[in-house]
Every structure is written in structure tokens, then in C-alpha cells.
């Protein structure tokens, strides 16, 4: 193994980059502040700076995590050094020629560039690739308990998900019932359900880490059939735990944990995606409950679901925006296939059609139209006390959903890396294995440290969220890692050459699946501009 990189030099380089990012945040805050507060309208006048800052700050946060990981061993230090150099190179590319926008002097990152040059060199990347061929993407350094969780879900993914994943994708089929039953048997749907309601959540940071580990392994099996299958129960569970009555918790949580109730989520609308505060689907009071009217879209798993979590407007005054929203648990019959239509005795209808997509198949995402659909009052989460709290309750789940999406990205990248590495070792071109060429080694090295950085960043955020923190970091890890997944899956496909474009290998599925990661659970641009950059500017303003 090559000499262990100097992590003190890596820290100094990260400090230089962090100072540039901090200056950029102060500049953005100064330009976006009105009467001592950040104005969204003013912030939108600097969207390019805000977007670049969001990704740069996320990269710096990932660097801090990887510096800690690098202290655990020689290969770990190599992965950390490679990631730090790669991240600062990206930040430098964002700043170059836009120093005035950032409020920094030309050459502000120059002190970090010698470290970057040394650890982006082809020679260094080749040494990383040699270790990656022997050690993969590196040790996780999980505890024995979480390694057991990893092994359990990896084995399930290998035995039950992978054998059917390609067929389901190619034929655009439903998630097999055998997969659902098997995941229920090993407790996959109860990871976030408190122990007193039949789940496995003990109420500490271990709950989040366990969820991240399980999600990664299931996504390694298949994004659509595995990792995403436990996301919807996660979102609704956290909403019910946070805002539901005791009767509601007893009614729904044990059945969710047992896999008896499959869950769909209905938040997005044709005209309102990430801007969920402006949804217009209405829930109008009527005798004994509410009548729901309007159209929801991108309702993943709505067909197979037994219940759906519905965000609807209970206050007809649109100026109330997010304060006029409430969350309902809507009962429905499961419907296989690509469409459904239900009519209640009172005449209410619920009609859904699946939206065809290039990837992420199996669960199907639906457009669903409600016309006078009756929902009992006891299905309003929190009942009367839950009126107007829907936005906050759905965000309770969505913040965790962003962390979970990052874990899905890591699992997908891991699958792509393993496929790319194996093919590159087996396939010979011009007399030697594809993996022996310098350019391909550089690609494999970058894959390895991007994957491990995403994994360790996710563990770090899970720890924060277990302590009631980490909302900003959850958005950061989602934004950064999901972009990385697009590159990793593309290059894994490229390593396969023409066979990567064929349907004989799953790597083409990894590529099209990865594309959705930067869109759902908060589109990359919206997440960066409305969540990350805004929070960075607010924090900079508060420190001023």
C-alpha cells in the first residue's frame, strides 16, 4: 500500500475552502437581506451564487466527515484525501471567474491547490484504484449490531430482490408480493415504528442509523423494489408519531410495522411540486368528516397501497398557505396494475393512472383525481388538534426522507461500482483488462471515495437527527450524494462499453434509476435554493 496521505494538510486545505464558502455566504446574506431578514425575492436575484454555495457548503461538510473517517486507517486516509481534493477542485471550478459574485479575491483557494494537485494526480488515483480492487469502497466501521443489520438486509436483497429486479424493470411490473411479505418478515416496515407499537424504534440515534443501513442494502438490490419500499412507511410513521392521537397510533402503527398496511404518499400536485405550501387539493368539512376534491400527482405506490397519506387544504383561504394544510390517512383498496377507479356509496370517486417513467419501476407513480371522496374525521392526523398542522407533519417525514434518499443513492452507487469493477476486471481490450488502464483506474478510484463519503456523511446526519438536529445537513447530504450517483452510474455503464447500453446487464437500470434521485424528495434546484442556501444566508446574517 502507498504511503498514508497527510491528513493535517487535508484539514488545512478544507479550512481554506471553508473560509471561501463562509465569505460567499456572507456575501449572499448581504445581498438578500431586507430589514434584517433574508428576502426570498432578493435571494432569487442571486440564484447562481446560491446554488453553487449550497453544493460547495455540502461538499465542505462532507470533507469534515471524511477527515474523521480518514483517521481510521491507511486506505481510509487515501479515500478521505481523494474526496477532499475532488471536492475542493469542484468548489474552485464554481468560484473561478465568479470571484466578484462570491465576494472573494482572485486566488482565494490557491493555498489549497497544492494538496488538490497531489491527490488528483493520476498516480495517486491509480494507487487508490489498486486498493479499491482489493478492498472495495472501504470499511464502514459500523458496530457489530449494525453490521448484523447490514448483513441481514444484504442477504434479503441478494436472495429475494435481485433475482426479480431486472424482470420487473423491463416489463414495468408491480413489486412482487413475495418481496413485500419477505421484507415484512424481517421487520423492514417497522424500523421507525416505536417498540410500544410493534416496531423496532427505541427512540435514539440508533433508529436513524439502522434505517440508513437497511435502506442502502435494499437499494443495492433495487431502487424501486427495495430501498424505496420502506420510504413511504417511514414518512407516514413519523407524521403519526409526531401528531397523531393515541388511538390513531394504536390503529395504524402496528399494522404498518407488520406490513399489513402498504403506504402511499400524496403531496405533489400538477402545479405544485416542491412548493407544497401552495397545494390546492381541498378537504371540505361535511357531516362526520371531509370531502376531498382535486388532483395529486407523483403518488408513488398509490395503486398497491392500502392507505395513503394525503396533504390537503382544510382552510379555503389560500392566503393561509402552509398554515391552512392538514394531513389525512385515506383508506383504499389495493389495486394491482397501472390504473384504478373506486366509487363510494355516497358517490365520491378516486381515480388513478400510473405515470410511465424511464426508471424507478415496480412501485409506479400515479396521478390521482378525487371528486367528493369522503374521509372520516378520525382519519385527520391529530383530529381537531391537527387542523392546520399538515405542512409541519409532512415535513417531519420528508426531512428524514432526504436522509433516506441519500442512503438509497449510496446503495445504488455501490451496486454500480461493483458491477463496473467486475466487468472491468473480466473484460480484456487491446490485450489487457479494462481495469488496468489509467483512465479507468481514475474513474474507479473516484467512485470509491464518492461512495464512502456519501455513506459516512449519511451516518453522520443520522447521528445528528437522532439528537434532534441535522435538518440542514439532511438536505445537504441529499443534494450532494444524489448528484454523485448520476456520475457513478454513468461511468459504471461506460466501463461496460457497448454492453452497458444493452439490456443484458443491470448497469443500464442503475443509470436510469439514478436520474430520479435529484428530482424526488425535493428537486435539487429547489432544495439548494429554498432550503440550503436560504439557511446558509440566514445563519450568516445571524452571525453578522
Q: pLDDT tens digits for 472-501?
A: 999 999 999 999 999 999 999 999 999 999
Residue 258: predicted pLDDT = 95
pLDDT digits (tens, 9 = 90+) for 224-242: 899 888 888 888 998 999 9
Range 13-40 average pLDDT: 97
Residue 529: predicted pLDDT = 95
pLDDT digits (tens, 9 = 90+) for 116-127: 999 999 999 999
Do residues 362 and 224 lie in contact, with contact meaning Cβ atoms separated by under 8 Å?
yes
Provide the mean pLDDT of the chain. 94
Do residues 362 and 226 lie in contact, with contact meaning Cβ atoms separated by under 8 Å?
no
d(CA 171, CA 336): 14
Residues 449, 455, 459: CA angle, nearest 5 degrees: 140
d(CA 529, CA 406): 18
How confident is residue 322, by pLDDT bands cut at 50, 70 and 90? confident
Residue 273: predicted pLDDT = 56
Residue 1: predicted pLDDT = 62
Residue 230: predicted pLDDT = 87
Nearest to 237 by CA among 186, 281, 291, 198: 198
> What long-range pairs does 178-185 form, CB within 8 A, spacing at least 24?
179/225, 179/226, 179/229, 180/229, 180/259, 180/262, 181/259, 182/156, 183/156, 183/218, 183/229, 183/230, 183/259, 184/258, 184/259, 184/260, 185/259
Residue 234: predicted pLDDT = 86
| Coil/strand/helix, residue 167 | helix
Query: Does the pLDDT of residue 427 top 60, yes or no?
Result: yes
- Point out the least confidently predicted range of 86-90, 281-285, 356-360: 356-360
Query: Does the pLDDT of residue 452 top 80, yes or no?
Result: yes
Do residues 80 and 131 lie in contact, with contact meaning Cβ atoms separated by under 8 Å?
no
What are the sequence ranges of the domains in the chain?
A: 263-386
Sort strands 33-34 and 339-343 into parallel, antiparallel or unpaired: unpaired
Residue 272: predicted pLDDT = 67
In 10 A of CB 3, how many CB atoms?
9
Q: Is 418 left (phi over 0), alpha (psi -120 to 50) or beta?
A: alpha
Active site residue 491: no
How confident is residue 5, by pLDDT bands cut at 50, 70 and 90? very high
- Nearest-Å Rg of the Cα atoms of the chain is 24
Residue 251: predicted pLDDT = 97
Residue 343: predicted pLDDT = 97
Query: Does the pLDDT of residue 187 top 60, yes or no?
Result: yes
Ranges of H-type helices in 33-136: 40-43, 47-70, 74-95, 99-102, 113-119, 122-135
DSSP string, 411-464: HHHHHHHHHHHHHHHH-EETTEEGGGSHHHHHHHHHHHHHHHHHHHHHHHHHHH
How confident is residue 80, by pLDDT bands cut at 50, 70 and 90? very high
Please give the CATH superfamily to which domain 263-386 belongs. Butyryl-CoA Dehydrogenase, subunit A, domain 2 (2.40.110.10)
Query: Does the pLDDT of residue 223 top 70, yes or no?
Result: yes
Q: Is 261 left (phi over 0), alpha (psi -120 to 50) or beta?
A: beta
- Point out the least confidently predicted range of 54-58, 72-76, 500-504: 500-504
How confident is residue 513, by pLDDT bands cut at 50, 70 and 90? very high
pLDDT digits (tens, 9 = 90+) for 127-173: 999 999 999 999 999 999 999 999 999 999 999 999 999 999 999 99
Residue 351: predicted pLDDT = 98
Residue 3 φ then ψ, to 5°: -60, 145
Task: Kindly name the residue from 287, 345, 521, 538 that is annotated as catalytic.
Answer: 521
Do residues 499 and 508 lie in contact, with contact meaning Cβ atoms separated by under 8 Å?
no
pTM of the model: 0.94
Which helix (H) or strand (E) is 164 found in, with range? helix 162-171
DSSP string, 312-371: EE-S--GGGGGGGEEEEEEE-----SSEEEEE-TTS-EEEEEEEP-SS--SS-EEEEEEE
Query: Does the pLDDT of residue 399 top 80, yes or no?
Result: no
Do residues 56 and 91 lie in contact, with contact meaning Cβ atoms separated by under 8 Å?
yes
Range 83-102 average pLDDT: 97
Share of the chain above pLDDT 90, in %: 85
pLDDT digits (tens, 9 = 90+) for 245-267: 999 999 999 999 999 999 999 99
Do residues 249 and 242 lie in contact, with contact meaning Cβ atoms separated by under 8 Å?
no
CA distances from 70 to 142, 143, 230, 461, 505 (A): 15, 17, 31, 18, 34
Query: Does the pLDDT of residue 44 top 80, yes or no?
Result: yes
Amino acid at each position: 500500500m502507498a504511503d498514508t496521505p497527510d491528513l493535517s494538510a487535508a484539514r488545512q486545505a478544507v479550512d481554506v475552502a471553508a473560509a471561501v464558502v463562509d465569505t460567499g455566504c456572507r456575501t449572499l446574506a448581504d445581498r438578500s437581506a431586507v430589514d434584517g431578514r433574508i428576502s426570498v425575492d432578493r435571494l432569487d436575484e442571486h440564484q447562481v451564487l446560491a446554488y453553487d454555495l449550497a453544493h460547495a457548503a455540502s461538499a465542505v461538510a462532507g470533507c469534515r466527515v471524511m477527515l474523521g473517517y480518514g483517521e481510521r486507517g491507511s486506505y481510509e486516509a487515501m479515500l478521505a484525501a481523494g474526496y477532499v481534493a475532488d471536492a475542493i477542485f469542484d468548489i474552485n471550478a464554481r468560484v473561478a471567474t465568479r470571484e466578484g459574485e462570491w465576494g472573494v479575491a482572485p486566488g482565494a483557494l490557491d493555498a489549497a491547490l497544492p494538496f488538490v494537485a497531489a491527490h488528483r494526480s493520476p498516480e495517486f488515483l491509480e494507487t487508490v484504484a489498486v486498493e479499491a480492487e482489493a478492498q472495495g469502497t472501504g470499511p464502514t466501521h459500523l458496530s457489530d449490531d449494525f453490521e448484523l443489520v447490514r448483513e441481514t438486509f444484504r442477504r434479503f436483497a441478494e436472495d429475494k430482490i435481485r433475482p426479480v429486479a431486472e424482470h420487473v424493470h423491463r416489463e414495468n411490473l408491480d413489486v412482487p408480493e413475495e418481496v413485500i411479505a419477505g421484507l415484512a418478515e424481517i421487520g423492514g416496515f417497522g424500523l421507525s415504528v416505536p417498540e410500544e407499537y410493534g416496531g423496532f424504534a427505541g427512540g435514539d440515534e440508533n433508529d436513524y442509523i439502522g434505517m440508513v443501513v437497511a435502506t442502502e442494502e435494499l437499494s443495492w438490490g433495487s431502487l424501486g423494489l427495495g430501498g424505496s419500499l420502506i420510504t413511504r412507511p417511514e414518512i407516514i410513521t413519523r407524521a403519526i408519531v409526531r401528531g397523531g392521537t393515541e388511538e390513531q397510533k394504536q390503529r395504524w402503527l402496528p399494522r404498518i410495522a407488520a406490513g399489513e398496511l402498504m403506504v402511499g404518499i400524496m403531496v405533489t400536485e400538477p402545479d405544485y411540486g416542491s412548493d407544497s405550501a401552495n397545494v390546492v387539493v381541498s378537504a371540505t368539512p361535511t357531516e362526520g368528516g371531509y370531502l376531498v376534491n382535486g388532483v395529486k400527482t407523483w403518488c408513488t405506490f398509490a395503486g398497491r397501497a392500502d392507505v395513503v397519506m394525503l396533504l390537503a387544504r382544510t382552510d379555503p383561504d389560500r392566503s393561509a398557505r402552509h398554515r391552512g394544510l392538514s394531513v389525512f390517512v385515506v383508506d383504499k383498496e389495493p389495486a394491482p396494475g397501472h390504473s384504478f377507479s373506486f366509487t363510494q356509496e355516497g358517490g365520491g370517486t378516486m381515480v388513478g393512472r400510473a405515470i410511465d417513467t424511464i426508471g424507478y419501476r415496480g412501485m409506479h407513480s400515479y396521478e390521482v383525481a378525487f371528486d367528493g371522496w369522503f374521509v372520516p374525521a378520525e382519519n385527520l392526523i391529530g383530529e381537531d388538534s391537527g387542523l392546520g398542522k399538515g405542512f409541519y407533519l409532512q415535513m417531519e417525514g420528508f426531512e428524514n426522507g432526504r436522509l433516506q434518499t441519500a442512503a438509497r443513492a449510496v446503495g445504488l452507487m455501490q451496486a454500480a461500482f461493483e458491477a463496473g469493477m467486475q466487468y472491468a476486471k473480466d473484460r480484456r481490450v487491446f490485450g489487457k483488462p479494462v481495469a488496468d488502464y489509467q483512465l479507468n483506474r481514475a474513474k474507479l478510484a473516484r467512485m470509491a471515495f464518492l461512495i464512502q463519503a456519501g455513506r459516512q456523511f449519511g451516518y453522520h446526519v443520522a447521528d445528528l437527527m437522532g439528537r434532534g438536529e441535522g435538518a440542514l445537513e439532511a438536505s445537504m447530504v441529499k443534494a450532494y450524494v444524489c448528484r454523485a450517483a448520476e456520475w457513478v452510474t454513468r461511468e459504471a455503464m461506460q466501463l461496460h462499453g457497448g454492453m452497458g447500453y444493452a439490456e443484458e446487464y443491470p448497469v443500464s437500470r442503475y443509470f436510469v434509476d439514478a436520474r430520479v434521485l435529484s428530482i424526488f424528495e425535493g428537486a435539487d434546484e429547489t432544495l439548494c435554493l429554498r432550503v440550503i442556501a436560504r439557511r446558509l444566508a440566514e445563519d450568516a446574517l445571524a452571525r453578522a
